[in-house]
Amino acid sequence: MAGTAVVLALAVALTLSLSPATRAAAPWLVYGLFAIIGLTVVLFAALVVEVDATEIRVKFGIGFVGKTMAIADVVRCELMRTRIWWGWGLHWTPSGWLYNVGGRDAVRVVLAHERPIIIGSDEAVRLKAAIDARIAARQR
């Protein structure tokens, strides 16, 4: 939420710094700026992680952006702290693809046939335990 507040403050400052002539010549500029911010908030405001017997599902916001991994493809998972400069969102890091909306606690899921996935969570210990339980059940 702090990131959203900063972006909104910058957008307001940018809007207020536009000259009246610029606002009159391109009124869509302000609407477009706030529409992009609004769409980004809707798509990336929250991160939902679901673990069941067969899959791990990671979904941002309303669910258009996400990732599904089969438990059968999971080699292992480990707790980690993300680097502060990795930030938030969805992007590549040196340790794998990062899915995160805040904080630095995460679970790194190592997959058999894909690059690792890093899932940010304020309940990383519980998330790791849930994934480990599914891996153990698969191996029985």
Task: HSE, CB side, 13 Å, CA atoms: give it for residue 136.
Answer: 6
* Structural domain boundaries, residue 38: 2-44
95 and 126 housed in the same domain: yes
Does the structure show a pLDDT above 70 at 25? yes
8 and 66 housed in the same domain: no
Residue scoring higher pLDDT (51 or 6): 51
- Sequence-distant (6+) residues with CB within 8 A of 133 are none
End-to-end, the C-alpha distance of the chain in Å comes to: 42
Report residue 140's pLDDT band, with 50, 70 and 90 as the boundaries. Answer: confident
80 and 20 housed in the same domain: no
- Tally of structural domains, the chain: 2
- pTM for the full predicted model: 0.78
Percent of the chain with pLDDT over 70: 97
128 and 86 housed in the same domain: yes
Backbone angles phi, psi at 120, to 5 degrees: -70, 140
> Mean pLDDT throughout 28-51?
86
